[in-house]
Amino acid sequence: MSGNGLRDIRPAVLALEDGRTFRGRAFGAVGAAEGELVFNTAMTGYQEILTDPSYRGQMVIMTYPHIGNYGVTPADEESGGAWAEAFIVKEVCRAHSSHRAGGDLAGYMNERGVPGIEGIDTRALTRHIREAGALKAVLSSDGESEEALIRRARSSPGLDGRDLVRDVTCSGPHAYGEGGDRPLCVAYDLGAKRSIFAELAGRFDLEIVPAGESAEDVLARRPAAVFLSNGPGDPAALGYIVENVRKLLGRVPVTGICLGHQILGQALGGKTFKLKFGHHGANHPVQDAATRKVAITSQNHSFALDPDSLPPGIAVTHSSLNDATCEGLRSEDPRAFSVQYHPEACPGPHDARELFDQFFSFCVGE
């Protein structure tokens, strides 16, 4: 805010690799960022979205027009940092109102180095991505020309073929939660959200290991189950993780969520592909093939598992009602179970949270 109480206006430009540009007002951190554009359809949960490591390499467009109205709080952080490359909204709210709030969204983003842009037509931008597919882009408030930003967007790396897990995994093995006398779950941190680990720690004794931990070191801990977390980037670029999971199969039950689902599918012999514009939001309908029940789920992924590439004996347990993509798999030999969505529901509806109980029962036989 300026001294006379008026909002400071700093122009910003969002430039897409296909030559389209959007002009608006900057908020958050000053500077430039590049990444692949995705849109998120959640109405709330913007702080969880910013701090979800799965958004490493991506610039997030919020389709809900008014973002920031309840402020920010440490309780809603899903990791120790903000991972989205940039935040794109119709209007950012600077006069937040909530008894939980410890600050405002713009200030939070500024402290964590995340640039944002408001005042653009996010509906038009979202429709453009739905038609054109995933696009690389650059957001800048540095005064660069549109032509220079478009060239920069075209030369940026995008997501294809990139291992971004190395950027977000933990630095070393560590215990999570209080522990006790329960079955041990060893969880690979591929860029996990804290709320997922919290759900697991409510059922297992939990140990977290980094993405590069060998299968031999994991088995030496004598786990009752191995869990593969969510995370960013192209699953086809993670051959070293897939190989370790392949060594675990048949020796210990393996479960996974989101990127972990895609890793498990590859370890079982399947292949992944890139979606046209991905699934990002808290309102994705998923149907259970056995019960025919539909759950509204939280999702965040740009790649998917090809069910036709899975070998015999691997059952597709869940499917998306939006585009029929594979949302879950199960195998009894080897024992493996995974889903594409985020059942911990942070943010999102709680329809699928019971899945963690299913994970426990599947792994320990109760």
Residues labelled as active-site residues: 258, 342, 344
Rounded CA separation 307/340 (Å): 12
Provide the H-helix boundaries in the chain.
46-50, 105-111, 122-132, 146-155, 165-168, 194-201, 215-220, 239-248, 259-267, 355-364
**Burial class, 279, CB count within 10 angstroms (exposed 0-12 / middle 13-18 / buried 19+):** buried
Q: At what angle do helices 355-364 and 194-201 cross, to 10 degrees?
A: 50
| Cβ atoms 303, 262 nearer than 8 A | yes
Contacts of 33 by beta carbon, 8 Å cutoff, 6+ apart:
59, 85, 86, 114, 115, 138, 139, 140
Contacts of 255 by beta carbon, 8 Å cutoff, 6+ apart:
225, 226, 227, 228, 264, 336, 337, 338, 359, 362, 363
Rounded CA separation 105/215 (Å): 41
